[in-house]
Amino acid sequence: MILSNVEIHKALDDGRLVIKPEPGPRLPTIGKHCPYGTHTVDLTLASELSIPKDDFPIAFDLSNKKKLAECLAQNSEKCTITEDQPYTLKQGKFILAKTRETIELPMQDPGSGARCLAARIEGKSSRARLGLLVHFTAPTVHPGFSGTLTLEIINLGPAKILLSPGVAIAQLIVEEVVGIPLANPSQFQGQSSPEGVLNNGA
């Protein structure tokens, strides 16, 4: 079941969903953008970008069990953007970014009667019409996840696109999960960088 904006507000209030900083205002206000659609909440672009090197030195072996995030970080250049100095995303260019917001979907106590939440990160139509993909093939945010959300961004449009921090870049759809799942944290649990490097550097 997909949560409406009213139910998203309730989930934020009771701690089943945590978004830091919490988007606001919750209701449409004259002169201010309301980030809550009827069943979505906007997420914004952080200032840290990761630009894969043009001469990427290796071929990825998907059977290799080594940490993907570490390999990406070692072979990418960091870029910090500001409102005064946005990043110019050229046609066909692929980069990694992250949301400014940290998302938490706490696991619920099986005896509490509360349902866990999962979420999906999706693009926004106003960005897609420019040819901007902000994620692909991996929209799922699993129950128990905590961290920023990585954005796999590519410009498939006809013109360059300027990326500035704080711009509404994606939207989150929140869903209830039937039953309390067994914990199975992903390799990106606790990530704090576009590549998925963890807070503790693991």
So which residues are the catalytic ones? Answer: 152
DSSP state at residue 47: S
Distances (CA, A) of 162 to 47, 50, 51: 13, 15, 15
Q: Which two tokens stand for residue 137?
A: 């093939």
Q: Are the C-beta atoms of 141 and 122 separated by less than 8 Å?
A: no
Q: What angle do CA 12, 198, 173 make, to 5 degrees?
A: 30
